[in-house]
Structure 1
Amino acid sequence: MKQLKGIILCFFLALVASFLGSRLPIVGGAVFAVILGMVLNKPVSKLTWASDGIAFTSKKILQYAVILLGFSMNLKTILASGQESLPVILSTVSISLITAYVLTRALGLDRKIGILVGVGSSICGGSAIAATAPIIDANDEEVAKSISVIFLFNVLAAILFPSLGQWIGLSNQGFGLFAGTAINDTSSVTAAASSWDAIHQSNTLTIATVVKLTRTLAIIPISLALSFYEGRQSGKKDLKISSLVPSFILLFILASIIRTFIPLPESLILQLKTLSKFFITMAMAAIGLKTNLVHLVKTGGKAILVGMVCWIFITLTSLGVQSLIGIL
């Protein structure tokens, strides 16, 4: 297998990144993987024996990660537990997608980067980007740029939101809902909720996690909608799902259905979730290895602006809708 050496390289980078992510969860293993990959981009680009495996990891391993992610999503449990948060989730997801679309066109930002920043901001950061990138055929630099933008505002949110919540007088329930809807990545949601719990001796982590999982369900309709749209844009006339929707998205949905209706051992679910997370980290390492850091920094201004405005609007919308429905 000619890809094996490159896959092994990404595997070891993912191990290092996962270790660093466990020590600094506010950043997370996937972001460390992208950074490590970009740092090593120049020397690794000269290793011809690694290129096929790196390409395989950035595409196929990423798709396998999304499929495995489905096994962590019990649709019944998530919807039952997160029902109260649905108005806030629907509002924040909608405002972020609309904002990203409008700003992408107004600023002349690359359409694919705009989509990735929009879904990453509105749904669940790296997981949403992982699910969406293959659908729109985004290249590695576009994925790396989007992940970098999402990471920047994840870290800011995790650091600033506990103090912001205290300043405006959020209740424990209100902060859990705020963290779960206004912070993108699970690791940053966990970090912010844990900080709040340490200050207030509360249990907002559970609330924030349930809300975050409920929000993650938006991957399914948005992936399907993007698949149909991209299929039609490419000139496909056949409206069959099998011809318009990538197989890995169908398998992701199937995995979610299996998780919902078939009792699987919790130990198995945990292992599959851990493997999915590690596969995403491997894929991010591969994407980093194929991304020129200098070029990324020079061309990332518009993407950062879109991410910042999405982040601000999500924050204001989450607090505003909570206030309207009386949760604050």
Structure 2
Amino acid sequence: MRRYLPGLTLLAALAAPAMLIQSRITVGGRTVVSAVAIAIVVGVLLRNLVGLPEACKPGVTFAVKRLLRIGIALLGAQLSLGQVLRTGGAAVLVVALCIVLAIVAVRFVSMRMGLSDRLGTLLGVGTSICGVSAIVATAPAIEARQEETSLAVATITVFGLLAVLIYPLLGRALGLTDGFFGTWAGTAVNDTSQVVATGLIFSQQAGEVATVVKLTRN
């Protein structure tokens, strides 16, 4: 456990100021800057400008693979069964329609761009279902090459990160409600952790709705 401490300490050092900034910057009693967004931006800058110290890598990996999943589970545990049934039930048709349209659209575009059928399929399932997990699960079934799998994972991850940062800004600019934005995020963003982050950046309620919609989509 000791080997995780440097990485966990680094993450805590990023999270604490981000939460403080969020609490201090308000308009009309409502926060306008999300701690999640601040932490993501600072983390990306740190990773690319300075680099992640070797001693911190075990702790950061542990947080991403274990603690993040626990956090998502705890967020889900806060929701009542009624909320899940109401939101999830209403989202089923939207999710089903979006999955079909996304797969067809991505496959069509990939064919027009001259990409391989395998890569097009990986991008399609990654976009429409559950991001990287869907890609990793589908790759062996269609005998995708390692290069195709890696490219699909990288593409989905990059676009997911962009969505985390851009969607909340668009949502506020368009004046979307928490429920509408949460449904949009849960339907449009790929990876579960990115969905939760996108929703929570907008609002707590949007994060809860996005989580339920995403779980329905999975």
Q: CA deviation at 1:19?
A: 3.7
CA distances 1:101-137 after superposition (whole Å, capped 9, x unpaired): 2122222101111000010001110111122111101
Aligned pairs for 1:1-328 (under 5 A) are 19-20=59-60, 82-197=88-203, 202-216=204-218
Q: CA deviation at 1:80?
A: 6.8
Counterparts in 2 of 1:194 and 1:21: CA distance versus 1, 3 Å = farther
How far apart, CA to CA, are the structure 2 residues paired with 1:203 and 1:124?
21
Structure 1 unaligned segments of length 5 or more: list them. 1-15, 30-76, 217-328
How far apart, CA to CA, are the structure 2 residues paired with 1:95 and 1:18?
39
| Helix, strand or coil at the partner of 1:169 | coil
| Helix, strand or coil at the partner of 2:119 | helix
Look up the match of 2:8.
Answer: none
How far apart, CA to CA, are the structure 2 residues paired with 1:93 and 1:101?
12
Counterparts in 2 of 1:129 and 1:189: CA distance versus 1, 3 Å = same
Q: CA deviation at 1:165?
A: 0.6
Cα RMSD after superposing both structures: 2.8
Task: Report the AA paired with residue 110 of structure 1.
Answer: S
**TM-score, length-scaled by structure 2:** 0.61
Task: Report the AA paired with residue 113 of structure 1.
Answer: L
| Helix, strand or coil at the partner of 2:103 | helix
How far apart, CA to CA, are the structure 2 residues paired with 1:90 and 1:17?
38
How far apart, CA to CA, are the structure 2 residues paired with 1:121 and 1:18?
29
Task: Report the AA paired with residue 164 of structure 2.
Answer: A
CA distances 1:62-96 after superposition (whole Å, capped 9, x unpaired): xxxxxxxxxxxxxxx97775110122212221121
Task: Report the AA paired with residue 109 of structure 1.
Answer: L
Q: Runs in 1 of length 4+ with deviation above 6 angstroms?
A: 22-25, 77-80
| Helix, strand or coil at the partner of 2:141 | helix
Structure having the higher Rg: 1
| Helix, strand or coil at the partner of 1:136 | coil
CA distances 1:131-183 after superposition (whole Å, capped 9, x unpaired): 21111011211110000000111011000011101111111111110110010
> Which structure is higher in RCO with an 8 Å CA cutoff and minimum separation 6?
1
| Helix, strand or coil at the partner of 1:155 | helix
Look up the match of 1:277.
Answer: none
Alpha carbons 2:135, 2:153 under 8 Å: kept:
yes
How far apart, CA to CA, are the structure 1 residues paired with 2:212 and 2:134?
17
| Helix, strand or coil at the partner of 1:204 | helix
How far apart, CA to CA, are the structure 1 residues paired with 2:161 and 2:184?
15
Alpha carbons 2:87, 2:209 under 8 Å: kept:
no
CA distances 1:258-290 after superposition (whole Å, capped 9, x unpaired): xxxxxxxxxxxxxxxxxxxxxxxxxxxxxxxxx
Task: Report the AA paired with residue 215 of structure 2.
Answer: L
How far apart, CA to CA, are the structure 1 residues paired with 2:146 and 2:103?
22
Counterparts in 2 of 1:98 and 1:170: CA distance versus 1, 3 Å = same
Identity, % of aligned positions: 36
